[in-house]
Amino acid sequence: MTAFRQVKNFIFDLDGTIADTLPDLTSSMNSMLTHFGLENVSPDKVRANLGRGSLNVIRAVLPAERAADETFLKEAHRYYYNEYLNNYLNETKPYPCALEGLELMKKKGAKIAVLSNKDTAMVKGICEKLFPAGLFDAVYGFDGRYSHKPDPSSSLAIAAEFGAPACEFAFVGDSEVDMQTAGNAGMQKVGVNWGFRNVPLLLDNGAIKILYSSKDFEEMVL
């Protein structure tokens, strides 16, 4: 495995990396399914399909014939989006080790961004509600300016905003999509041993470092 190089610049995924959003995602998804008279799904089913935007999760949880109906898919997505918009802070919480680790990084002078495929308003809402003011130097969600991860355009926009080349960043996430995003952007790939996937999958997708504790966060900072 390539050795990790300490850096000053970091991009963190949100869902499953620094915040446990699965309870609210699952309850909102099941509210949508119930509304349309469909069978509810388990948190594991939702977890397995997270990472590429909510529309792809909805495709995965719907019966095949309903998922193939583009008109119904849009209607289901619209209902889900409104449900989640009203409930995305009900049970969502920061992972304690991530919160502590981010604070340790900040004390060492790290510049930290959050990047999610979730809509920008909700990403900012979670960061403002659950994390200390001033912890993040940039917060990016999906607002139409850039394509969803694993497209690297949003990561490279953060690098430009920070005034540093991509090679001086570490990208931290919990999924194969995050590792692919890091690779596409030319950033170091870092995984976490909690969240929505698992360590073997992260390693298979090129992670060169895995975080296990808040101390591991601090040790990444140059």
- Per-residue pLDDT tens digits for 173-186: 999 999 999 999 99
Q: For residue 189, what pLDDT is reported? A: 98
Q: For residue 19, what pLDDT is reported? A: 98
Residues with Cβ within 8 Å of 83's Cβ and at least 6 positions away in sequence, in order, are 28, 31, 32
Q: For residue 53, what pLDDT is reported? A: 81
Q: For residue 51, what pLDDT is reported? A: 81
Rounded distance between C-alpha atoms, residue 15 and residue 88, angstroms: 12
CA 44 vs CA 54, 57, 62, 166: distances in Å = 15, 12, 15, 34
SS3 4: coil
Instruction: Name the residue among 200, 206, 190 with its Cα closest to residue 98.
Output: 190
Q: For residue 137, what pLDDT is reported? A: 98
Is the distance from CB of 213 to CB of 97 less than 8 angstroms? yes
> Low-confidence residues of the chain, pLDDT below 50?
none
Q: For residue 2, what pLDDT is reported? A: 86
Residues found in the chain: 222
Q: For residue 23, what pLDDT is reported? A: 97
Q: Is the dihedral of CA 4, 182, 178, 84 positive or negative?
A: positive
The answer, as to whether pTM is greater than 0.75, is yes
Q: For residue 102, what pLDDT is reported? A: 98
Q: For residue 52, what pLDDT is reported? A: 78
Is the distance from CB of 184 to CB of 151 less than 8 angstroms? yes
- Structural domains in the chain? 9-21+93-219 (3.40.50.1000), 22-85 (no CATH)
Q: For residue 22, what pLDDT is reported? A: 97
pLDDT in tens, 36-64: 999 999 999 999 999 878 899 999 999 99
Rounded distance between C-alpha atoms, residue 17 and residue 20, angstroms: 8
- 189, β-bridge pairs: 171
